[in-house]
Amino acid sequence: MSGVKPVEALSEAEAAAELERLARAIADADAAYYQNDAPELTDAEYDGLRQRNLAIEALFPSLKREDSPTDRVGAEASDGFAKARHSAPMLSLDNAFADEDVADFATRIRRFLGLPAEEVVAFTAEPKIDGLSLSLTYENGKLLRAATRGDGQVGEDVTANARTLADIPAKLKGKGWPARIEIRGEVYMAKQDFAALNERESAAGRKTFANPRNAAAGSLRQLDVEITKSRPLRFFAYAWAAASEPFSETQSGAVQAFADWGFVTNSRMVRIETVEEVLDYYRDIEAARAGLDYDIDGVVYKVDRLDWQQRLGFVSRAPRWAVAHKFPAEKAVTTLLGIDIQVGRTGSLTPVARLEPVTVGGVVVSNATLHNEDEIARLGVKPGDRVEIQRAGDVIPQVLRVVEAGQGAVWEMPHTCPVCGSAAVREVDDAGRADVRRRCTGGLICPAQAVERLKHFVSRKALDIDGLGEKQVVLFFEKGVLRAPQDIFRLKNNIDAAGLPPLEEWEGFGAQSAKKLYSAIDARRKVPFARFLNGLGIRYVGQTTSQQFARSFLSWQSFWQAVKAAEAAGVDSDAYNELTGIDGIGQAAARALMAFEAEPHNRDMLAALLEEVEVQDEVPAAIGSPVTGKTVVFTGTLERMTRDEAKARASALGAKVAGSVSAKTDIVVAGPGAGSKLVKAEQLGLQVMTEEEWLAFIGEA
Ligand code: IVH
């Protein structure tokens, strides 16, 4: 905040003007953070604004504004839209960067489907639009609802806003549309429209948008529909879900149907048959990129045949049948001002480059990760150097290399935690290799770790409590009323017990927001299995792994029973095999769970937390399938489909796919050449089926 007058030196008139400026700046920052998911200030800058505002109000109480930021917490801004649950999750895409990644994608598909070499696999290829995705529900041809992506499961209902877009038909044209269908696509702003909008905004003395994507997001998510209407938003339709009837056999046919029904589809979409053609297309689009009238950040390839898409299915949050081939990251050169240390929730110390702010691909970057001390040594980077940085999509910016060395001294990684002062060490594995990361050994006593764990616990992918964001976690932590996850549910009591005034009297909270926060917390006393497990922040047990455990165990009790049993019996036990036998679960995750359970503090925390919340059972992926909840092992050669496809299909039907046979196995599907697993199954008297019998059993013979 250099160049800003000290608060004490302000005249009354200056103070009033300053308060007005700050109210606007903070409201804008809140909007960027909460509504556009695009923070424009660092936390320190934001806190600086709020502190200055507070200091001026303290000195000039009579000047405090009606709309003072002190009386508002930012989260309120996101409360305006109703929640909308998607009938099928809105997925993301896996990324490919190099040509080989694209070749691998094609190979994986062939392998999964078990296709012979001569079989042609056709793809659609189309630009990847840099906007925000939107799902449109049509019933009997009429637009019923429009919802943003949100977390993929639940978005925001923006129907009224979406109706203002000329590219979104209120009624479908033509015929042949299913009685019910969700059309999905991208809302975006054309480059020229964006430039004109920014010119208007700046002429009117308002803040401009950083890039067309932010402008599109900010314009669609307006509580005042008139504002959305005045903004030049467009829409490309490229996907669908939940169609009540089939309406095409191919991806390309489906998109053609969208065009017939009155949607705008991307004219550059093509259907191609070889990886070479795919790569040629990529290079053509890359060359055309600057001249397109909308921003793109890559191209998307999708398997054209829908029966194959169906068989390929999904891995966690992305389809196996599509990939985004991204353009190379944008780069810039700037000065490294210093290196800060961030302490993560598992205690890892990450060196972060503090940079002279620089614009990279339309976004101002002032921090970049340096990963770890080996990376710093490899780069030979020190404060004062000119460095090249890059930023790719949503990925954290990185320092690539030193362009010009400065006069700074060699930087050394601290060997103690900058927050709690505990020793920070590099763990050495069984093979004697030192971990690249240095970790704080303070564990539960380290406030930084505790705060990060709490932030993770309430984050969008875990408990997702409205109004309890990072800022509030830090505040409650500092006041001593939130130290462990269970405290969230005891917040009111903890505040009383600490002799603090009730929350509605705290700076930054009003009666409204305190009430909203408490009810948002109460709403999470019932929490889905996968969110709860992910929230615990156990190493190697992130969102995907948590989801896999939830799908396979269904109930928290039976899952944690298995963790306890594995912890008690060790890595040679059936219980351990039950954890690691699940498709996609590695030993690291199983061991981390056991280590978590072995630690008395964790057991106490979990017990206390479970007194406050009820972990809901996972709803099986396919209720009523004959294999829902059953544990299945595939062994021997399969002839009708590949092993991967068989496993994926079984999981999709709600079965637990295990890698080894135990007394807990329900069905063993044995093909020719089955060996010891079949013998064990027979010894245990388990149900054994041939592949044909299995297919008949699941109704796919
Ligand atoms: S297909 C199941 N096609 O990219 C596949 N997505 O990184 C659904 N996107 O959330 C997506 N252009 O918002 C698809 N031509 C395109 C796209 C596209 C942009 C966005 C979309 C998605 C994100 C995934």
Is there an atom of ligand 1 within 6 Å of 162 CB? no
Whether 486 and 570 share a structural domain: no
Position 396 pLDDT exceeds 90? no
> Each residue of 397-432: pLDDT tens digit?
999 999 999 999 999 999 999 999 999 999 888 788
Please state the atom number of ligand 1 nearest to the C-alpha of residue 322: 5
Whether 519 and 642 share a structural domain: no
Asked if residues 594 and 667 have their Cβ atoms less than 8 Å apart, the reply is no
- Does 656 reside within a domain? yes
Please state the atom number of ligand 1 nearest to the C-alpha of residue 302: 1
Is there an atom of ligand 1 within 6 Å of 263 CB? no
* Distance from the alpha carbon of residue 186 to the mean position of ligand 1, in angstroms: 7
**What is the CATH number for 692?**
3.40.50.10190
Of 524, 551, 567, which closes a domain?
A: 524
- Does 342 reside within a domain? no
Closest protein CA for atom 12 of ligand 1: 128
Whether 271 and 124 share a structural domain: yes
Which of 90, 124, 213, 300, when mutated, tests ligand 1's pocket best, judged by the most ligand atoms within 8 Å of its CB?
300
Active site residues: 128
- Does 405 reside within a domain? no
Whether 227 and 119 share a structural domain: yes
**What is the CATH number for 100?**
3.30.470.30
Whether 513 and 535 share a structural domain: no
Whether 52 and 116 share a structural domain: no
Tokens of 541: 């047990």
- Does 651 reside within a domain? yes
Of 267, 293, 324, which closes a domain?
A: 324
| CA-to-CA dists, residue 61 to 23, 35, 511, angstroms | 15, 30, 21
- What is the pLDDT, as a whole number, of residue 3? 46
Is there an atom of ligand 1 within 6 Å of 319 CB? yes
Mean pLDDT across the stretch 678-699? Answer: 93
- Does 383 reside within a domain? no
Whether 61 and 89 share a structural domain: no
- Does 293 reside within a domain? yes
**What is the CATH number for 574?**
1.10.150.20
Range of the domain at 152: 83-324
Whether 148 and 256 share a structural domain: yes
Number of independent structural domains in the chain: 5
* Distance from the alpha carbon of residue 72 to the mean position of ligand 1, in angstroms: 35
> Each residue of 264-312: pLDDT tens digit?
999 999 999 999 999 999 999 999 998 899 999 999 999 999 999 999 9
- Does 547 reside within a domain? yes
Q: Which residues lie below 8 Å from residue 225, measured CB to CB, with a gap of 6+?
A: 160, 161, 164
> Each residue of 459-499: pLDDT tens digit?
888 998 988 988 899 999 999 999 999 999 999 999 999 99
Is there an atom of ligand 1 within 6 Å of 660 CB? no
Asked if residues 44 and 50 have their Cβ atoms less than 8 Å apart, the reply is no
* Distance from the alpha carbon of residue 93 to the mean position of ligand 1, in angstroms: 7
Which of 129, 236, 320, 325, when mutated, tests ligand 1's pocket best, judged by the most ligand atoms within 8 Å of its CB?
129
Lowest model confidence (mean pLDDT) among 93-102, 336-345, 543-552, 606-615: 543-552
Is there an atom of ligand 1 within 6 Å of 125 CB? no
Closest protein CA for atom 24 of ligand 1: 92
* Distance from the alpha carbon of residue 92 to the mean position of ligand 1, in angstroms: 7
d(CA 107, CA 112): 8
Closest protein CA for atom 23 of ligand 1: 92
Is there an atom of ligand 1 within 6 Å of 135 CB? no
Whether 468 and 573 share a structural domain: no
Whether 172 and 271 share a structural domain: yes
Please state the atom number of ligand 1 nearest to the C-alpha of residue 266: 15
d(CA 676, CA 661): 9
For the ranges 47-61, 340-354, 628-642, the one whose mean pLDDT is highest: 340-354
DSSP 445: G
Q: Which residues lie below 8 Å from residue 159, measured CB to CB, with a gap of 6+?
A: 143, 144, 145, 146, 147
Whether 549 and 466 share a structural domain: no
Whether 582 and 455 share a structural domain: no
691 SS3 class: helix
Is there an atom of ligand 1 within 6 Å of 353 CB? no
- Does 358 reside within a domain? no
Compute the mean pLDDT over every residue in the chain, rounded to the nearest whole number. Answer: 90
Of 269, 290, 324, which closes a domain?
A: 324
Q: Which residues lie below 8 Å from residue 11, measured CB to CB, with a gap of 6+?
A: none
**What is the CATH number for 67?**
1.10.287.610
Position 457 pLDDT exceeds 90? yes
